[in-house]
A = this chain, B = another copy of it.
Amino acid sequence: MISFESDYITGVHPEILNKLAETNLESMPGYGADRFCESAKLKIAAACCRNVDVELLTGGTQTNAIVIAAMLKDYEGVIAAQTGHINGHEAGAVEYAGHKVLPIPGSAGKLDAAAVDKYVAAFYADASHEHMVFPGMVYVSYPTEYGTLYTKRELTDIAAVCRKYGMKLFLDGARLAYGLMSRESDISLGDLCDLCDVFYIGGTKAGALCGEAVVFTKQNKPPHFLNFIKKRGALLAKGRLLGVQFDALFTDDLYFRIGLHGIKTAEKLRNIMSRHGAEYYVDSPTNQTFVVADRTMMKKLEGNIRADLWEKLDEERTVLRFATCWSTSDADLEFLDRVLN
C-alpha cells in the first residue's frame, strides 16, 4: 500500500532531522528566544530579500486564525473564496477568533480581483453597512486548495483592490514551497513581500514535523505578539522545535529543493496518469493532482494506492486527490504505474 493521500503522510526531511539531533543537547532559552529561532528568522528575511518580521507558529489553522485576528480591527471580517480553507475546513476557527469569513464565489479555488472589487463596492454602497461586517482583509492561498496558482498579474490586481479600500492582503502559504517551485509560477518570495501585508511559509506540508513561518512585510507585526499567541495557546515552551526546523529549511535552499521535488514527482505522477487516460477535475501545476476516477480505476487502486477521497461526483465518478511531498520516491510512482496497468 503506497499512500499519496496528502503531503503530511511521512515525517520530517532527513536534513531537518539531522539538525534536530545535532542540536539536541544544546541548552537554549525557551519560548522562541533561542538562537535557532533567531537564525531562522534572519534566513527567511534574507530569502525574502526584504526587511521583514518573521514569527514562527505551529500549524496552519492556528496560523490563519491568529494572523487574521491580529491584523483585523474588531469590526472587520475577511474575504475568502467560498472554497477557501478558512471558510470550510477549519471548524470555524477564524470566527471563533472573532472575525467573520465573507465568502465570495471563486473559480478553481481562486478569487477574482473584479469580483472582490464588486463585493466591496456594494458593501460601501449599502446604506446600512455600519450594521454589517466590514471587509478588512482578503485571504488567498497559494497554491489554492485546488492546487492552482495566481499569476503575478492576478495577485497584483487583488492587491490593488485591497489598497483601494484599505484592506489587508493575507496569503496562506501552507503549500508555498510547491507554489514557488511550480513551472507556472512567476512569483518570488520578494514579490509576496511587496504584494501582501502578511503571508506564511508553510513548514508542515513541506518537510517539517510542524511549523509555519509568518512574514509581516510592512513593519506591521502587532506589538506584544508573543503575548497574543500565548493567550491563544500557540506558544511552544521548546520554541527550538520550530527554530531548528526552519533554520534547516532555509539552509542550502532546502525549502526550495523540497518544493521542487514535490513538483517533479507530481509531474511524473501526472504523466503516468495521463498515459493511463486519466481525466483531471482541475488542472493543477503544483504538488496536488485531482483525478476523476471511474469505477475501473477505483478498483485498480483499491488495496494498493491510497489517495484522498475529495468528492463524489456521481455514482460512477469520484474525484481523488494525489499529493506528492519530500518523501515521494520513484519507486512509489513506478508502483502506481504498475497498479494502473
A219 within 8 A of B: no
- Report whether B29 and A9 are in contact in the complex, using a CB–CB cutoff of 8 Å: yes
Top 3 nearest A-B pairs by Cβ distance?
A62-B233, A11-B24, A95-B95
- The oligomer's copy count stands at 4
Residue in B6, B23, B89, B93 whose beta carbon sits within 8 Å of that of A233 in the complex:
B93
Smallest CB–CB gap between A282 and chain B, Å? Answer: 18
Within A287-341, the residues touching B (CB, 8 Å) are: 306, 309, 312, 327
Chain B residues within an 8 Å CB radius of A100: 92, 95, 101
- Interface 1/0 per residue, A191-221 and B, CB below 8 Å: 0000000000000110001100000000000
A28→B12 contact, CB < 8 A: no
Q: From residue A9, how far is it (CB to closest CB) to chain B in Å?
A: 4
Q: Report yes or no: B99 in contact with A98, Cβ–Cβ below 8 A.
A: no
Contacts known (A6-B30, A132-B91, A238-B204); A232 close to B17, Cβ less than 8 A: no
A241 to B, closest residue via Cβ:
B209
The answer to whether B130 touches A227, judged by C-beta atoms less than 8 angstroms apart, is: yes
| A101 to B: closest C-beta gap in Å | 8
Name which residue of chain B comes closest to A229, CB basis: B91
A312 CA / B6 CA spacing, docked (Å): 47
Smallest Cβ-Cβ distance to A30: which chain B residue:
B8
CA distance in complex: A131, B70 (Å): 17
Interface residues of A in 1-58 (CB under 8 A from B): 1-3, 5-6, 8-12, 14, 17, 20-21, 23-31, 58
A209 to B327, CA, bound (A): 23
- The number of chain A residues touching the other chain, given as a range, is 35 or more
Tell me the chain A residues, 207-255 only, with Cβ under 8 Å from chain B: 209-210, 222-224, 226-228, 230-238, 240-241
Query: A28 vs B210: C-alpha distance in the bound complex, in angstroms?
Result: 15
- Return A168 CB to nearest CB of chain B, in Å: 16
| A279 in the interface (beta carbon within 8 A) | no
Whether B91 lies near A231 (C-beta < 8 A) is yes
| Complex-state Cα separation, A20 to B222, whole angstroms | 35
Compute how far the CA of A33 lies from the CA of B11 in the bound complex, rounded to whole angstroms: 14
Name the segment of A71-79, A106-114, A182-190, A262-270 touching the other chain: A71-79
Q: Is the CB of B236 within 8 A of A74?
A: no
Q: Does A134 contact B (CB under 8 A)?
A: yes
Q: A227, B24: Cβ atoms under 8 Å?
A: no
Flag if A230 contacts B98 (CB, 8 Å): no
With A132-B88, A233-B66 given, is the CB distance from A327 to B226 under 8 Å?
A: no
Residue of B nearest to A224 (CB): B75
The answer to whether the Cβ of A90 comes within 8 Å of any Cβ in the partner chain is: yes
Cβ 8 A contact of A231, one of B12, B92, B101: B92
Query: Complex: how many Å from CA A27 to CA B91?
Result: 25
A62 in complex: contacting residue of B133, B224, B234, CB < 8 Å: B234
Q: How far is the CA of A46 from the CA of B3 in the complex (A)?
A: 31
Residue of B204, B228, B235 touching A61 (CB-CB under 8 A): B235
CA distance A235 to B30 in the complex (A): 22
* Interchain CB contact under 8 A, A233 and B92: no
Residues on B with C-beta less than 8 A from A70 are 74
